[in-house]
């Protein structure tokens, strides 16, 4: 039943897809704000940014190993073209929303994953925005947004799978080659969440 409620809510907020770049996210986060897309997802998780405790992390290696940091991490910390950040919002000491950015900056590939966790730490929903912005071929760029929910038995339900513009508006499906199609549909596994939380929060799960 809970998965059905979450799925219905995700459908309602389908048009609130703005915040499609890391730079936009970074500027909003520094100002203590959320983009429309993250705000809608946070609401599903029962998270209020003003009252939730926020923990930050960043990665400077290809293995996406996170290091905790006290402030909003930006790309100025990058040591190679692979760079990543993560933010955990906790309510009553429990992680409830994880926002992850994984980037390969020289090729223009960005993946942004939101994870909603219940009070027991189980992932109940995920949203992934995959972006391809080839530096020298902007016309070949694309953004794909996918939202899924997870039932108590682990069954995954795809709520939405669409291509969007830079402003977050839905666009017509694109014809992609095999490699681009794989990247567009790729989602970070929820199985990675416990490790990321441990790296950022010193063992807190």
Return d(Cα 85, Cα 41) in angstroms, integer.
18
Cβ(100)–Cβ(115) below 8 Å: yes
Classify residue 173 as exposed, middle or buried by CB count within 10 Å of its CB (0-12, 13-18, 19+): exposed
Return d(Cα 107, Cα 82) in angstroms, integer.
10
Q: Is the pLDDT of residue 1 over 90?
A: no
Return d(Cα 33, Cα 27) in angstroms, integer.
9
Segment 71-94 shows an average pLDDT of 95
Q: Is the pLDDT of residue 6 over 90?
A: no
Q: Output 95 or 48, whichever has higher pLDDT.
A: 95
Residue 57 pLDDT level (bands cut at 50, 70, 90): very high
Residue 97 pLDDT level (bands cut at 50, 70, 90): very high
| Helix or strand (DSSP H, E) at 160 | strand 156-164
Q: What is the pLDDT of residues 130-174, one digit of tens each?
A: 999 998 888 889 999 999 999 999 899 999 999 999 888 999 998
Return d(Cα 135, Cα 106) in angstroms, integer.
8
Return d(Cα 185, Cα 202) in angstroms, integer.
32
Q: How far is CA 16 from CA 75, 148, 180, in A?
A: 26, 16, 25
User: Token match 């190679």: residue?
Assistant: 80
> Can you give the pTM of this predicted structure?
0.88
């Amino acid at each position: 039943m809970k998965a059905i409620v979450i799925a219905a809510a995700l459908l309602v907020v389908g048009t609130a897809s703005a915040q499609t770049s890391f730079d936009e996210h970074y500027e909003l986060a520094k100002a203590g704000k959320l983009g429309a897309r993250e705000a809608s997802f946070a609401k599903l998780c029962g998270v209020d940014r003003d009252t939730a405790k926020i923990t930050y992390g960043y990665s400077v290696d290809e293995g996406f190993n996170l290091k905790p940091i006290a402030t909003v991490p930006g790309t100025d910390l990058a040591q190679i073209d692979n760079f990543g950040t993560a933010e955990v919002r906790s309510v009553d000491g429990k992680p409830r929303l994880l926002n992850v950015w994984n980037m390969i900056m020289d090729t223009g590939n960005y993946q942004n994953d939101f994870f909603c966790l219940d009070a027991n730490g189980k992932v109940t929903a995920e949203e992934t925005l995959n972006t391809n912005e080839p530096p020298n071929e902007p016309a070949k760029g694309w953004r794909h947004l996918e939202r899924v929910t997870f039932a108590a038995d682990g069954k995954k339900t795809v709520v939405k799978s669409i291509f969007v513009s830079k402003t977050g508006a839905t666009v017509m499906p694109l014809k992609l080659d095999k490699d681009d199609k794989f990247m567009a549909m790729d989602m970070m596994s929820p199985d990675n969440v416990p490790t990321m939380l441990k790296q950022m929060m010193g063992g807190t799960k």
